[in-house]
Structure formats: structure tokens, C-alpha cells
Amino acid sequence: MDIGGLKALAPLYGSPPPVGRGPNVRLRCPFAAVNHKHPDDPSPDLSVKVEDGAQSVARCFSCGVAGSLLNLFTDACVAVGGGELDAAVEYIAATDKGGLGAALARLRTVRDRVPGQHTGSRRDPPTDLERYVLRCARQVPRYLIEQRGVVKADVERWKIGFDADLRRAVFPCWDSDHNLVGASRRTVCNAQPKFYDTPGPWKQEVWYGEHLLDATREHAVVVEGVLGTVFASRVLPNVLGLLGAHTGLGGARLAKLRRWCRVVTLLLDADEAGDRAVHGYTDAEGREHLGLRAQLRPFFVVRVARLPREYAGTPVKDPADIPGDVLARVVQAASYIDVRSTLDKGTTPA
């Protein structure tokens, strides 16, 4: 982007005019208004490369974000609200020199997916949940990287973040229309409860990962938690998370599944809660509670995948505890008959 484009773009998110001469100038970081890492200082702190006919590469000296200035601006617009996205689309469409086509397409896509009704060139302000998720974004706790094996591609695909105040990893959840509906917050220490999710009935109405589902496959793999969904989706298509075995199926979830699938494979955790969720149980008063398998069988071909008790000498609890190739074989070996979800100790599918 040339210097004229930078001068026009900066006021759209409240930045002072570009400062400096030569191939690099300085602007205010687009995240300064929404990222708690920034001090409340209007001075520019973003280094931007001036380049005609191409996307301007930017790097913030304060929070460390880097990449295309237009992409950073797009993400910040979602949090700031108002008509910034529409104004950016109009400006870029009018001044495109051939190097901004991809950025223009991205701006339009993000604008169209932002929840809220458009009126003219403006949209509804972002919700508190949108602001919260954006504030937590790009801050991954060391626990997920060093102990659970989360990689950068997982963070980008699932928009994983971190709430420093609650000391919890944040897993945003979108519905099939790409509307942000909630966030699952998982502790990274020994705090209880283990999950402290955003309030509301969204956990009984949506599947974690349903915004990535391809309904043309007519098959889904149902897992229990958010990390299991993240890891299983690396090697398996159409992975949906229950957001906890205790959340149950529910009418809204069942209705969605009936629109999307003919075959369902259950791949829940290898523990008592996972067994109960799949096969049901009888409580202390003698009341029988149907499991997912019994609830789904009238509508789907249902298969049950069985995790091994341990792998390479390490206990296995969920899909995140075994390598991707082993997990794929576990799903391939899923059974149509009524069997328990755990194998004999130390065995894995051939």
C-alpha cells in the first residue's frame, strides 16, 4: 500500500497520520483500543512497510502482532464495531492497484460473516462476547503447547486464546452460520471447576466445530471435549464436540445432526463419564438413563469407536492422548455392535 493509502486507512481506526519517511513509517496499532497489552497511549507503535501495489507488512513494537496491515485492521474492526469494515471495503475497491485483491476479498468475507444486521453501510456494534474473544486471541498458555501439543495451526483454525484474569484457555464456539455463540474456558492449572464457560444455553444448542462441518459427507465423529475435537480434526473430517459428556444430546443438537448426517461415530473419552454418555446407566433410584447410542439409533447408523487404555506406556483418556495415525485406526475399527468403549489394557487397533 502506498503512503496515500496508509493516510486514508489510518483514520478509519483512530490512528494518527503516518509518521516517518522512507520505506517504513509508523502508525498506531489497530489493536490498541481492544488489546489489554497496550497502554492507553495514542502514540504510534506499529512499523509499516510502504510498498506500492502490495499489502503493507506491519509489526507492532508493543504487543508483537505482525502480518498484513489490512488483515490486522480487519480483525480489529470486528471488535471496534460501526461501519469501519464497510468503509474499508469501499476505499480499497476504489483504489485497488492490483495487489490488494486478496485483502479486499477477505474484508468482504469477514464483513458478511460478522453477526448483526447491516443497515446501509453500517452494522450493529459488536457484542461483549466478540470483544472478549478478540481480547483473548493470540495468547496461548504454555500448558497447551508444552504438555498437550497444541501447535500454531490449531490456534489459527480454532482461534484459541487465553484469559489471564481467570487463568483459563479460551475456545470460542461458532454455530453453523458462523455466529459466535459462546466460549469454553478450560483451566490450565488445578483450579476448579475445570471448565468455566460463558453463560447461556448455547452448550445445549450447538456442537463445538459445527462451523467447519461438511454436510456433503453425511458422516460425523462425535467426541467429548474441546481438545479432543481440536486434535481429532487434524486427521478426521467432520469432528463435532459435545462440550462435555454431561451436556447430553438435546433437541436442537439432534435436529442439526439429522440435517447433516446419516452415519455417526461416537469417540468419547475412555473413562466412566464417557462410558455412561455412550451406553447409558441406571441411577441410585433405579431410573434408567439412555446413552447417546440408544438415542441416536432411531435416526442414524451408529458406530462406537473404542480408545485404548494406554499407548506407549501412557494412560489414554481422550483423543488428544494418542497420535493421529492411531486415532484414525481407532475410528476405522469402530463397531456397530453394543460393546464397551475401552479395550483390554495396552491394546490398539491393527
Q: Which helix or strand (DSSP H or E) is residue 173 part of?
A: strand 168-174
Tell me, what's the pLDDT at 121?
35
pTM: 0.62
Which residue, among 344, 307, 313, has the nearest Cα to 327 in the 3D structure?
307
* All residues at 6 or more sequence positions from 127 whose CB lies less than 8 Å from its CB, including other chains: 115, 180
Sheet hosting strand 168-174, strand order edge to edge: 161-163, 168-174, 180-187
Which phi-psi region, left, alpha or beta, contains residue 286 (left: φ > 0; alpha: ψ -120 to 50)?
left
- Max Cα–Cα distance, the chain, nearest Å: 79
Q: Which residues pair with 163 in a beta bridge?
A: 168
Tell me, what's the pLDDT at 87?
58
Q: Could you list the mean pLDDT of each consecutive 10-residue stretch along the chain, which spans 350 residues? A: 69 71 78 55 68 69 72 62 54 50 58 47 64 84 86 90 90 92 88 84 93 92 94 94 89 92 93 90 88 93 91 87 92 73 38
Which residue is associated with the grid cell 467447519? Answer: 212
C-alpha cell at 209: 466445530
Residue 165 sits at φ, ψ, to 5 deg, of -70, -40
Residue 83 sits at φ, ψ, to 5 deg, of -100, 20
Tell me, what's the pLDDT at 206?
95
Tell me, what's the pLDDT at 343?
37
Pairwise CA distance, residues 267 & 271, whole Å: 12
Q: What domains are there in the chain, each with its CATH number?
A: 3-113 (no CATH), 139-199 (3.90.980.10), 201-350 (3.40.1360.10)
Distance of CA 327 to the CA centre of its chain: 21
3-state helix, strand, coil in the chain (%, to 5): 35, 20, 45
Q: Which helix or strand (DSSP H or E) is residue 194 part of?
A: none
Distance of CA 330 to the CA centre of its chain: 25
Angle between helices 69-80 and 128-136 (to 10 degrees): 140
The amino acid occupying position 250 is G
